[in-house]
C-alpha cells in the first residue's frame, strides 16, 4: 500500500474556508522561496516576557482566526515545561513535541511568549471543529469538518490544574493578552476550549468561564 502524507493525506495541502486561503502542506511539498506578502508582514514577538520553546512548526501561511485555550494537567510551571521539555509521552512510550504561543510562567506570575506569532505551534493536534458548530460562530462557513487547527490558530496555556477554580486575576491577565493579540492580529474572531475540539482533552476545565471572551470581542465555539 502506498503511504500518503499524514498531514495532508497526500493531497499536497488543504483549504482554510474561514480564511479563504489555500494552505500548502509543509511536510510533503516545498513552498516557493518567496513567501506570500501576508506571511512576511505578520507580527512575531510582542510585549510579553519571552521563554522560547524549541518545538515550533513552519511559518504560518495565513493570518490566524482562532484561539485555543489550554491549561496544564497539574500546578507545575507550564511555561518552563514547554521550554525545557516540550514533549508529551503517550501510553505506548512514544513522544510527541508540544508547544504553545503563550504559557503561564509561575516564576514571573505572567504569560510568557514561547513561539513567534508567525509560526505554527503544536498545541491542538488531532482536533476537529465540526462544520455545523463552526457555522454558528462563522455564519458564512461552507466547508467540511475542519481539521489541522494548528495552522490557523494561536495556543494559550493557562496555569493548571484544569480542575481548579479560576480567579479574577486569571481572567484579568488573560484579557490583557487577548486584547494585545487582537490588536496585532485583527483576524482573530473565534475561541475554543481544547476540550471543545478534542473530546480526549479536559482543559481548560469545567470551571473555566469561556463566556469571558465575549467581552473581548470573540465568538465561542462550543
List the domain boundaries for the chain. 13-221
Determine the pLDDT at residue 41: 79
Q: DSSP string of 159-170?
A: SS-TTSPPPHHH
Burial environment of residue 176 by CB neighbours within 10 A (0 to 12, 13 to 18, 19 or more): middle
Cell numbers at residue 206, please? Answer: 469545567
190-193 β-sheet, strand order: 110-113, 102-105, 153-158, 66-71, 190-193, 219-221
| Residue 120 phi, psi (nearest 5) | -75, 140
What pLDDT does 33 receive? 47
The confidence score (pLDDT) of residue 191 equals 98
* 89 and 95 Cβ atoms separated by less than 8 Å: yes
Q: Quote the pLDDT of residue 92.
A: 79
What does the pLDDT look like over 75-86, one tens digit per residue?
999 999 999 999
CATH of 13-221, one of 3.40.80.10, 3.90.1150.10, 2.30.42.10, 3.30.70.270: 3.40.80.10
Predicted pLDDT at 98: 97
pLDDT confidence of residue 139? 96
- Comparing CA positions, the residue from 118, 122, 123, 103 lying closest to residue 49 is 103
Dihedral sign computed on CA atoms, order 221, 8, 199, 143: positive
pTM: 0.93
Note the pLDDT of residue 40. Answer: 65
What's the CA angle centered on 118, arms 216 and 20, to 5 degrees?
70
Q: What is the pLDDT of residue 36?
A: 59
Q: Which residues in the chain come in under a pLDDT of 70?
A: 1-3, 30-40
Bridging pattern class, strands 153-158 and 56-59 = unpaired
Nearest-angstrom CA–CA distance, 131 and 67:
17
Report the pLDDT value the prediction gives residue 189, as an integer from 0 to 100. 98
Amino acid at each position: 500500500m502506498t503511504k500518503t502524507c499524514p498531514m495532508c493525506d497526500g493531497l499536497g495541502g488543504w483549504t482554510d474556508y474561514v480564511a479563504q486561503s489555500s494552505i500548502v502542506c509543509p511536510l510533503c511539498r516545498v513552498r516557493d522561496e518567496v513567501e506570500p506578502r501576508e506571511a512576511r508582514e505578520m507580527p512575531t514577538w510582542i510585549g510579553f516576557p519571552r521563554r522560547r520553546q524549541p518545538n515550533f512548526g513552519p511559518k504560518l501561511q495565513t493570518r490566524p482566526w482562532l484561539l485555543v485555550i489550554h491549561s496544564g494537567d497539574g500546578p507545575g510551571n507550564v511555561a518552563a515545561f514547554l521550554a525545557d521539555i516540550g514533549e508529551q509521552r503517550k501510553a505506548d512510550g512514544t513522544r510527541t513535541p508540544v508547544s504553545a504561543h503563550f504559557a503561564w510562567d509561575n516564576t514571573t506570575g505572567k504569560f510568557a511568549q514561547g513561539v513567534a506569532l508567525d509560526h505554527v505551534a503544536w498545541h491542538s493536534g488531532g482536533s476537529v471543529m465540526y462544520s455545523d458548530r463552526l457555522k454558528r460562530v462563522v455564519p458564512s462557513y461552507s466547508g467540511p469538518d475542519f481539521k489541522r487547527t494548528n495552522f490557523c490558530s494561536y495556543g494559550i496555556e493557562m496555569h493548571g490544574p484544569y480542575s481548579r477554580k479560576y480567579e479574577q486575576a486569571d481572567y484579568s491577565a488573560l484579557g490583557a493578552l487577548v486584547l494585545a493579540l487582537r490588536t496585532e492580529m485583527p483576524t482573530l474572531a473565534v475561541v475554543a476550549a481544547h476540550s471543545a475540539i478534542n473530546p480526549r482533552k479536559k482543559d481548560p476545565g469545567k470551571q473555566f468561564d469561556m463566556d469571558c471572551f465575549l467581552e473581548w470581542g470573540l465568538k465561542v465555539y462550543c
